[in-house]
Structure 1
């Protein structure tokens, strides 16, 4: 089921809506129990994502951007030890099939160039969004943020998956013209057929757990099998929900957008 919300609905986890059931009744009264959800900023973006060709074998490499330590200067940010764990996962799971940019190697110019030559991109870093000025939504790289406006300038013909293991990457603006302006939408419009992003803050440990679960199911030899990406995220989120149903802040922020 593809959601294409408008207005204030864009701020809500529609995929997690429903009535919590008492412990002694069968589950099944939530969207999460009934359908596999995905989102799209526009119907045109969805149609484009579903028609896009898969990349050639030579292009099936993953770019992993990891900033376990906060960038120098600017906004005060906390360390993200989980970002290092996510990078280590790719070293084990995709040896020789990924490019790793950690810490000061993850500069704006380098990452922007890398996005043009990799089918898959994973960001483990801090993210931010200002609902009053959503075009400033950003991923914090080492020297300067990668913003929504930066992504909007990209045209990535063979892009397949962008996974944003960062906070607030699928939150748009508070006013109608800005509702679809966020990093996830910008990446989908730039060419990515699948985007995994977040609606609000996610815990560092949870980010590692979700990323590890998702990629363990997606890794296929030297690349990724993305045929069931939305289903894979759905199963991961539902498992988190089943383990701790009373804390939706942990499992509800994750969404899939795209094909």
Structure 2
């Protein structure tokens, strides 16, 4: 399966994610160079992050997952034949939320309190504002355009695409990427990826996340643990997911 990313050339990458193999002696990944695996006896606790102090200003206390937010749930799906699991994710959301699911363009993200993006994403490590969410019939909806979105009271943005929280080492202190701008826009919880994720893994992650009725950070943590159990010798398949929010 193709990973859910586009390279800087602007065309979908045909390459698959590389896989790593590592074992852990029970340190939970605390020792340098040690990847946590299913053999770890003490999984690390879930952690949350924020792109800036300002972003923390709209963090209420942790709450449960929104089930039926007024205004519906926007699903931005752009996969095509290169990402067949995207259609399965759309079906998954419709089964969970029924007629509240609305499919639409990324430009409508600011109109909904809950968003699920499934498909290709672009991370531009030289100029982060040029990265963005791929679209079927037009240019990507860029980070620069997303930065103008305002959604006060937004609850959840699940970004089932590659590299949605990736930045370059040279710009690490700026934290400019798809996930951070959506969080600053007002989405309390953002689930994103640090690198490329294979199509089949992205679908499995979405199934695990939406089947969990607990709080969002806990659901992300349990999702990652389940993925780690499924792919114990391939940390690149499960360690990409991060949560931004309280």
Same fold per TM (> 0.5)?
yes
1:66 is aligned to: 77
Q: Cα offset for 1:44?
A: 2.3
Q: How much does 1:22 deviate?
A: 10
The residue aligned with 1:185 is: 180
| Residue 137 of structure 1, CA deviation | 1.5
1: CA distance, partners of 2:151 / 2:62: 11
- Quick check: 1:46 aligned with 2:56? yes
Q: 1:249 aligns with which of 226, 229, 236?
A: 236
Listed as ranges, the gaps of 5+ residues in structure 1 are 1-15, 70-77, 219-226
Match of 2:44 in 1: 34
Give distance in 1, aligned partners of 2:240 and 2:83: 18
Q: Is 2:63–2:215's contact at 8 Å kept on the other side of the alignment?
A: no
> Hey, what's the Cα distance between the residues in 2 that align with 1:141 and 1:21?
35
Aligned to 2:127: 133
User: Within the alignment, does 1:98 sit opposite 2:101 as a pair?
Assistant: yes
Q: Cα–Cα, structure 1 residues 234 and 140, in superposed 2: closer, same or farther, change >3 Å?
A: same
Give 1:21 deviation, angstroms. 8.5
CA RMSD after TM alignment: 2.8
Structure 1 position 68, deviation (Å)? 2.4
Native 8 Å contact 2:35 2:235 kept in 1: no
TM-score normalised to structure 1 length? 0.74
Scaled by the length of structure 2, the TM-score of the pair is 0.78
Count of aligned pairs between the two proteins: 214
Q: Which residue does 1:235 correspond to in 2?
A: 222
After superposition, the Cα gap between the structure-2 partners of 1:155 and 1:242, relative to the gap in structure 1 and judged at 3 Å, is same
Runs of 5+ consecutive residues of structure 2 not aligned to the other structure = 1-27
> Structure 1 residues 182, 58: closer, same or farther in 2, change over 3 A?
closer
Query: What is the rounded CA distance, in whole Å, between the counterparts of 1:81 and 1:235 in structure 2?
Result: 25
Larger relative helix fraction: 1
Q: 1:176 to 1:26 in 2, by over 3 A?
A: closer
Find the partner of 1:214 among 209, 214, 217: 209
- Which one has more relative contact order, counting CA pairs under 8 Å at least 6 apart? 2
Q: Distance in 2 between matches of 1:43 and 1:171?
A: 19
Q: 2:120 & 2:131 partners in 1: Cα distance?
A: 11
Query: Who is 1:222 aligned against?
Result: none
Q: CA offsets, 1:144-203, max 9 Å, x none?
A: 211111111011113111111000100123324763111100000011000000000000
Distance 1:252 1:53, change over 3 A: closer
SS in structure 1 at match of 2:60:
helix
- 8 Å Cα contact 1:173/1:179 also seen in 2: no
Match of residue 164 from structure 2: 169
